[in-house]
Structure 1
Amino acid sequence: MQLKWINFFFYLSLIVLISVYTYETVITFSPINAYIGDEVWYPTAAYNMLKLVFHVTPPPMTNIGYPNEQNIQTYINPEHPPLAKYIMAVFIYFVGYYPIVWRIPSWILGDLMLIVGYFLGKKLVSNGILGNLAGILTALLIALDPNVWSLHGIALLDIYVSFFSFLSLYFLLNDKPLWASIALALAMLSKESAYVLIFPFLYYLGEISNNVKKRAIYGIGIPALIYILFSTPLIAYYGGIKAWLDATIIHRALWDVTNGHITLTATSQISTPWDWFLNIHPFYLGYNLYASTNPYVLILWIITTPLAFIFRDSKLITTTMWAWTMWIGFVIVYILGNHTLFSFYVTDFMPVVDAYVVVSLFKLVQKINILK
């Protein structure tokens, strides 16, 4: 069979998968005309940013109203970077303050994630039938992941950092460091869990180039520049760089390593990084939605990680360490004192895990066939 027909068949399969995924997303999440879980913080912060940061008149507040939280009418969520709120604010400004409106960006990113997963799986295996099969299985595994499913349907930050970090990895492994650097910056602007990705990013840059200057520019310079540029409205809002640093970066660092995200007595909602591997205490988001994990894939990830090092494959090593680095970041946060972590953080790195598990197993089969 000619390659173009093989590609056509799998592209068609991907389109069908995305269509079904989109349909199920719309019929599941659009009827919920209320705040879901932590949506009480982020769409409201986006709405407030329109007034307080960008000085534009937002659309009238709808019947849903502000949630019953202290100081919510002036809250702009300094505990997290601003990009996701910026994107929500654009949709709210042009369409209105409705749950379906602030969720649409998450739905779009969820669909795009399947596309990235397909092409990443294909890239890491081959351009033939096996590569296409690895790609479509990667996309399918992401689509079936219960954690990603719940989080892509609502307006939280995790789907944003998940998508942009996944996109950064795709560009990086395609040896397109500029685009990878830009996507990494967008991930860091979505949620601080992406900050640690600078380490695997720099590792892979070192594998493809011995130029220290190039590594510094793509790994540090460009992400830092983009981060500051996107933060300019907030710098102006707070009245200068020092005030902005105090109110956001420093405040964020202190907030991330302390308890208080939820009461410590809410044990059924708290899930440690090692709990995630066994789906212990999946976070209840409301409306019969749980941020459950997939223990089978996560345990397979542990088992297959040594393969990347056994094969001495820098792309495989970077892929698995991309996810492990984020997981280790949460472990460090726990060690530093924040014992109120949640299972929905798994979405931040789970698409990478899904891709790695599929690709590593395909690579294993290829190696076995070569030995035979």
Structure 2
Amino acid sequence: MRYIYLGLAVVVAVFAYLAYLTAQLPGSDGLPNGPGYISDEVWYVTSARNILHDLFKAPAASPYFTVEEECLTSGSVVVKNYTKIDAVTVEGPVACYIRRGFPYPDKEGILSYYNLEHPPLAKYVIAAVEAVRDEPLFWRLPSIALGVGTLILVFLTARRLAGDIWALAATALMVFDNTFRAMAGIAMLDIYLAFFTALLAYFYVSDRVLATGAALGLAASVKYSGAFPFFGLAYLLARRSIWAFVSVLLMAISIFLLVNIPIAGQLGLGRWVEEILKALSWHTTSRPPGPTVSTPLDWLLMRNAFALYINPDIYASGTPAYLVALAYALYRRDDVSILYLSTYGGYWLVYLAGNHTLYSFYTAHFSPLAHIVLARLLSSIANSGRK
């Protein structure tokens, strides 16, 4: 047992180091000739900063102010000009300001953007970090921590189902998941989704019904796709007890509503509901051409990967484990397999509903489930070899 934990510590340390290397990349469209945003951080980090300022009435911890020209003083030093924003970012004293914090990307409407396409939980976490220190590496520290936490949850869950050795093997294979590893070094939403989905699986396998519902609610509070495991949970729990099903559903809804109280209070109840309906419509509608899109089938075949960073090139290219685990899940159809099929299948529902602009980095969501299923497969192969 001691060697198993030592092995897990090594796997976690290697993973954390690789995620940290990603987190140290310079990014772009931040400080001129300095650090900036990586990929879709431009939307999530900035909306978190706006939420921090408008909802929680707190400034980001930063020497920079984004201001209109009439707010400049003789001591203000302009550090960034914009073409799509009627403002400048400065250091030094100012008479007033729109936002305090790291310079914004040059995007139209970014100073009032809340990213209402997605629920707010991950943005709350990023905002809390910005209140301490609003710099690129700090935005990404929660992602590293959640990536590590997801590995540990995968190990703990897989150990219950497949034993120590195969749980460790499956956890180690997650280090080779290019998408999951990269997302653990970037301040985007999908690593939060992965963590709460892994937490859901752990609580479910531990037969903790209310905690399972809480984890589902937290996942759905990061992205609406976090609710995809519910399809599988509904099937599994309804077979056992209708009260277990109702308990999970009510707990998940309660957590989702609790997390959304600040944003609903800011927007007003009517507009909050309207924004949820708009978001659901947005998620089931294709968007204009842009980054490389892919289908859920492409994710299994590692095709049409989303480029997260160029030079060094980092693509959300996934891992063969998704396909292998899916084939075994279809054969095995045990509880964790059902959760995996439900979560992966949710993206097919979105695709069939009309949204064909899906991206390969979404696979970080179900990567923990795929690797737990993979641990069961490895254990099954090993046990059959002993017969």
TM-score tier by shorter-chain length is: 0.7 to 0.9
Tell me what 1:360 maps to.
Answer: 377
Amino acid at match of 1:286: Y
| Aligned counterparts, 1:346-357, within 5 A | 346-357=363-374
User: 1:192 pairs with 224, 228, 247, which one?
Assistant: 224
SS across alignment from 1:215 = helix
Partner-residue secondary structure (3-state), 2:124: helix
Once the two structures are TM-superposed, the CA of residue 134 in structure 1 deviates from its matched residue by: 1.0
> SS of the counterpart of 1:284?
strand
Tell me whether 1:236 sits opposite 2:260 in the alignment. Answer: no
Q: Report how many residues are paired.
A: 341
- Whether 1:69 and 2:107 are equivalent positions in the alignment is yes
Residue 342 of structure 1 aligns with which residue? 359
1:11 aligns with 2:5: yes
- For the residue of structure 1 that corresponds to 2:296, the secondary structure is coil
Name the CA distance, whole Å, in 1 between partners of 2:350 and 2:174.
26
Aligned equivalents of 1:272, 1:13: Cα separation in 2: 36
The alpha-carbon deviation at position 326 of structure 1 amounts to 2.1
Structure 1 residue corresponding to 2:47, chosen from 42, 45, 48 = 45
* Equivalent residues in 2 for 1:110-129, closer than 5 Å: 110-125=147-162
Question: Does residue 258 of the first structure (1) align with residue 294 of the second (2)?
Answer: no
Q: Normalized against structure 1, the TM-score is what?
A: 0.87
What secondary structure does 2:228 align onto? helix
State the match for 1:91 in structure 2: 129
- Structure 2: runs of 5 or more not aligned: 27-34, 65-78, 80-101
- C-alpha distance in 2 between matches for 1:214 and 1:61: 51
The CA deviation at 1:61 is 6.2
CA offsets 1:309-352 (integer angstroms, 9 cap, x no match): 4xxxxxxx221222222222211211222111111111110121
> What corresponds to 1:3 in structure 2?
none
CA distance in 1, matches of 2:63, 2:169: 43
Alpha-carbon separation, structure 2, partners of 1:136 and 1:196: 26
Partners of 1:289 and 1:279 in 2: CA distance: 14
Task: Spell out structure 1 runs of 4+ moving beyond 6 A.
Answer: none
Corresponding position of 2:94: none
> Which secondary structure state, in structure 2, belongs to the residue aligned with residue 285 of structure 1?
strand
- Code of the residue aligned with 2:193 in structure 1: it is V
Q: Does structure 1 conserve the Cα–Cα contact (< 8 Å) formed by 2:50 and 2:113?
A: yes
Please report how far the alpha carbon of residue 299 of structure 1 lies from its aligned counterpart in structure 2 after TM superposition.
Answer: 2.6
Matches within 5 A, 1:319-334: 319-334=336-351
Asked if the contact 1:304/1:361 (under 8 Å) is kept, the reply is no
CA contact (8 A) 2:336 2:373 kept: yes
Question: Partners of 2:3 and 2:303 in 1: how far apart?
Answer: 39
Instruction: Give yes or no for contact 2:18–2:181 (8 Å, CA) kept in 1.
Output: no
Q: 2:196 is matched with which residue: 159, 164, 167? A: 164
More helix by share: 1
| Aligned amino acid, residue 105 of structure 1 | P
Higher Cα radius of gyration: 2
Give the alignment's Cα RMSD to 1 decimal.
1.7
- Asked if 1:278 is matched to 2:301, the reply is yes
Alpha-carbon distance, 1:203 to partner: 2.7
**145, 155, 158: which one pairs with 1:108?**
145
Aligned partner (choices 274, 277, 289) of residue 246 of structure 1:
274
- Partners of 1:15 and 1:258 lie apart in 2 by 43
